[in-house]
Structure 1
Amino acid sequence: MTDLKQSAFPRPDRAGQPTEIDTLVVGAGQAGVAMSEHLSNLGVPHLVLERKRIAEAWRTGRWDSLVTNGPVWHDRFPGMEFPGLAPDAFAHKDQVADYFEAYAQQINAPIRTGVDVLRVVRNADRAGFTVETSEGVILANRVVVATGPFQRPVIPPIAAQDAGLYQIHSADYRNPQQLPEGAVLVVGAGSSGVQIADELRRAGKQVYLSVGAHDRPPRAYRNRDFVWWLGVLGLWDAEVVQPGKEHVTIAVSGAHGGSTIDFRRLAQQGITLVGLTQSIADGVVHFQANLAENIARGDENYLSLLDAADAYIARNGLDLPEEPQARERLPDPDCVTQPILELDLAKAGVSAIIWATGYANDFSWLQVDAFDANGKPQHQRGVSSEAGVYFLGLPWLSRRGSTFIWGVWHDAKHIAGHIAIQQKYLAYRDPSQCQAETAASQPVSLSGVR
């Protein structure tokens, strides 16, 4: 367990008086560490609480072989590079966790690990909030929710009720060896689903991959990684999600040195593609007849980025090599032209289903008026509708890149600035009152008194 600045901020006292702090940050992943850096730079007293270890989700909430989806020159904080890695490398998940732990040490972040936040309520008789934790009570003027978007794994209600079928969420997948003998159905074709399906295929498993709507950028094009293209084209900084794209996943991978996700190539290599999973009943999975449509729309997304990149190169006179082979397309495999609409799991030998179906937020501990009727946080660039509450690390918090390592750092800077401004307002004192207090504190002169 790592504790930084141990003497500066004592732990909550179970039996004694509550700990008081100006700003409490909940969560010590990338969002919490970034928040701490900016608050420290602005002189805001704060404390960061983490229920387990710094960047715990990177260590134990991912599969064994996971690497970052972006190269380390891009997916990092400005204040430190990844040690021992080439700029275009993709960091392993444990290297990412080590990076954030080292970064927290570098900035001397006031982090307390092993402390679970149980409840936050607004005070009725004084400013700020009362925070109940596993180690006592904290009184805070402000609370920053830096728990990120990956809080509660979601398995849809259509999941099979067959006790003999091995079913897990991608959050609980670690490696092919944990699965029983037999074929596997992977539901979800975003980054997680595609990478897990490919790993299982490489391990000799027969794999069915359920493909829904997705974006499919090139890993790299004309000697530049896709993260560079999204940057220069202004797409990372897009502030409004396109209608219909709210829940579209992105199929990209840094595995095996990074390569473009091509569903036709995956099929050519032995993965059987199926459409969006619609229902499961009596051991039979039913798929929508939309596989070809989903892949075609992914192709459109892919080609649109190539077109935008070509136009940018021409407009700016860049000397980057042409790459005509990037537009070549493999023929549609049989599983696309003659899609499987029903799959009898027993007959197909499917013994396991992995649900790569995303996550939901869990703010049940945050009992303040900061949510809409659907339980979604109400905020503007992370500044909540509930004064004194802030959110950090959520998708589209301020822009498309808000959930990425570099994006959360910039969002944290904005929120820290808002907190520092509010702190200055609260520190204001009436000049006339200050003069009166100064005069009252001066010694009375008795000269001339008879």
Structure 2
Amino acid sequence: MRNVSGRHFPVVIIGGGQAGLAMSYQLKQREIDHIVLEKNSIAHSWKTQRWDAFCLVTPNWQCQLPGYAYPGSDPKGFMLRDDIVAYVESYAKQIGAPVREGVRVTRLAADPAGGYQLDSSDGEFTADSVVLAVSGYHIPNVPRISEKLSPAIVQVHSSAYRNPGQLPEGEVLVVGSGQSGCQIAEDLHLSGRKVHLAVGSAPRCPRVYRGRDAVEWLDDLGQYDLPVEQHSLKEKVRKNANHYLTGRDGGRDIDLRRFAAEGMRLYGRLHDVENGALKFADDLTTNLDNADRVYNGICKLIDDHIARNAIDAPKQTHYAPVWKPEAPVHTLDPTAAGITSIIWTTGFRSDWSWIDLPLFDGSGYPTHKRGVTTVDDVYVLGLPWLHTWGSGRFVGVGRDAGFVADAIEKRQAVRFNAATIAASEQVAKSA
């Protein structure tokens, strides 16, 4: 493979977040030369796409990037946004990751000379192998129905929300009840703002149950190590919303019913806007009941584990609703209701348009098995449920990176052996 003025590398990692850094660590352990190209800066999304009061929902002890376990003094606490940034930045320094910041890759394609060609804001690179460590959250997703709303209503995507003070006075509608939606709704609620919440189908999880954080119980049960192939939903689990709970103020449940009892207005899923009026589905009761069913299902899973292993743990009853919806609201005039701003916590869309390689399925998702794609020498890392529930988290990305690094090392050995045989044959012909 060619090497033009230091622009060729055995491995190029695209993305300098925790996945790309974990990949760099694993390659360094195997003495495989590589470079990490990061279009912004290390920990960029943690710095710029999280609100002021943001914190992890998983305990600090789960921050287990390879070669760099959580270094702080509060393993059962929950790191705040700036602490997370510091953790990732210090990891990059600790491992000496060869990161080039401010380099955006604009095209990845096969190189006619072999391997791959990468066009970037810093010119062209070539590589034998490429690791796509860019997550799947690329473009803020705001539904087109937002275009039907009055221009007087301020609209903000969750990635741009910082604190209640950035919004105009008045009531706030939060659309979406995944982790971000519920935590932002809580942030506004605790500040004294009047909040309306369009509730979707995301499940919820207990924070503490029978004397321990639920994450500790689930870790003991091997839930974070369960391969996608063994999950009841198989690959469909990759599209599931994460359970909502919070690490705020030491960690607690998020109970939307309790919020409603305290004055938060809950609705079903927002499905349309007609003549400026918000249209909600008649599924609020179903969505709340299903979230509670998952919550109590996790409690039952823990109960069974405790009984099966004769563990001494305090008794605790399962969750019982503290509030139930009355007549559903199907239509709401936001202006008449005093709503002056809307926060869209509706996730992100993937953008793989810059990759000119046949590695995607019909939905645009990279086809892979544990990060090894269907295109030779191209890998993905850091996606939710890449291999296990822990794959998209600090706790599991290092193991996935190790698997991919092993695959790269094997491919390098194959190329080396092929080159050796070819060179021997050439010598024999010349003799």
Whether TM-score is above 0.5 comes out as: yes
- Residues 275/436 of structure 1: CA separation in 2 closer, same or farther (3 Å cut): closer
Distance 1:87 1:432 in 2: 54
Counterpart of 1:116 in structure 2 is 104
After TM superposition, give the deviation of residue 84 of structure 1 in Å: 3.7
- Residues 208/223 of structure 1: CA separation in 2 closer, same or farther (3 Å cut): same
Query: Does the aligned pair in 2 maintain the 1:189–1:209 contact within 8 Å?
Result: yes
Gapped runs of 5+ residues in structure 1? 1-12, 442-450
Q: Tell me whether 1:349 sits opposite 2:342 in the alignment.
A: no
Q: Tell me whether 1:277 sits opposite 2:264 in the alignment.
A: no
Query: Does the aligned pair in 2 maintain the 1:160–1:283 contact within 8 Å?
Result: no
Give the secondary structure class of the aligned counterpart of 1:303: helix
The number of aligned residues is 422
- Residues 254/234 of structure 1: CA separation in 2 closer, same or farther (3 Å cut): same
Counterpart of 1:358 in structure 2 is 347
Distance 1:223 1:139 in 2: 54
What whole-Å deviation, never above 9, does each CA across 1:298-343 have from its counterpart, x for those lacking one?
Answer: 111111111111111111121222223xx2424324xx12222211
Q: Tell me whether 1:415 sits opposite 2:404 in the alignment.
A: yes
Aligned positions of 1:19-38 closer than 5 A:
19-38=7-26
After TM superposition, give the deviation of residue 248 of structure 1 in Å: 3.1
Using structure 1 for the length normalisation, give the TM-score: 0.89
Query: Does the aligned pair in 1 maintain the 2:296–2:319 contact within 8 Å?
Result: no
Distance 1:410 1:109 in 2: 18
Aligned positions of 1:31-430 closer than 5 A:
31-124=19-112, 126-161=113-148, 162-238=150-226, 239-240=228-229, 242-243=232-233, 246-324=239-317, 327-333=318-324, 336-428=325-417, 429-430=419-420
Distance 1:431 1:377 in 2: 34
Instruction: Please tell me the residue identity of whatever aligns with 1:348.
Output: A
- Residues 264/436 of structure 1: CA separation in 2 closer, same or farther (3 Å cut): closer
Instruction: Please tell me the residue identity of whatever aligns with 2:306.
Output: I
After TM superposition, give the deviation of residue 150 of structure 1 in Å: 2.0
Query: Does the aligned pair in 1 maintain the 2:56–2:247 contact within 8 Å?
Result: yes
After TM superposition, give the deviation of residue 49 of structure 1 in Å: 0.8
Instruction: Please tell me the residue identity of whatever aligns with 2:118.
Output: V
- Residues 140/271 of structure 1: CA separation in 2 closer, same or farther (3 Å cut): same
Query: Does the aligned pair in 1 maintain the 2:65–2:397 contact within 8 Å?
Result: no
Using structure 2 for the length normalisation, give the TM-score: 0.93
Q: Give the aligned CA root-mean-square deviation in angstroms.
A: 2.2
Distance 1:437 1:224 in 2: 68
Instruction: Please tell me the residue identity of whatever aligns with 1:271.
Output: M
Distance 2:107 2:79 in 1: 35
Distance 1:269 1:47 in 2: 52
Distance 2:409 2:297 in 1: 42
What whole-Å deviation, never above 9, does each CA across 1:115-143 have from its counterpart, x for those lacking one?
Answer: 1111111112x211111111111111111
Instruction: Please tell me the residue identity of whatever aligns with 1:260.
Output: D
Distance 2:214 2:74 in 1: 17
Query: Does the aligned pair in 2 maintain the 1:190–1:252 contact within 8 Å?
Result: no
Gapped runs of 5+ residues in structure 2? none
What whole-Å deviation, never above 9, does each CA across 1:220-266 have from its counterpart, x for those lacking one?
Answer: 21222222222222322331454475333421211121101111111
Distance 2:367 2:340 in 1: 42
Query: Does the aligned pair in 2 maintain the 1:18–1:139 contact within 8 Å?
Result: no
- The farther-off stretch of 146-155 and 33-42 is 146-155
After TM superposition, give the deviation of residue 20 of structure 1 in Å: 0.7
- The farther-off stretch of 427-436 and 64-73 is 427-436
After TM superposition, give the deviation of residue 431 of structure 1 in Å: 6.5
Distance 1:47 1:142 in 2: 11
Instruction: Please tell me the residue identity of whatever aligns with 1:298.
Output: A
- Residues 381/282 of structure 1: CA separation in 2 closer, same or farther (3 Å cut): same
Percent sequence identity is: 37
- Residues 332/22 of structure 1: CA separation in 2 closer, same or farther (3 Å cut): same
Query: Does the aligned pair in 1 maintain the 2:16–2:36 contact within 8 Å?
Result: yes
After TM superposition, give the deviation of residue 208 of structure 1 in Å: 0.5
Give the secondary structure class of the aligned counterpart of 1:337: coil
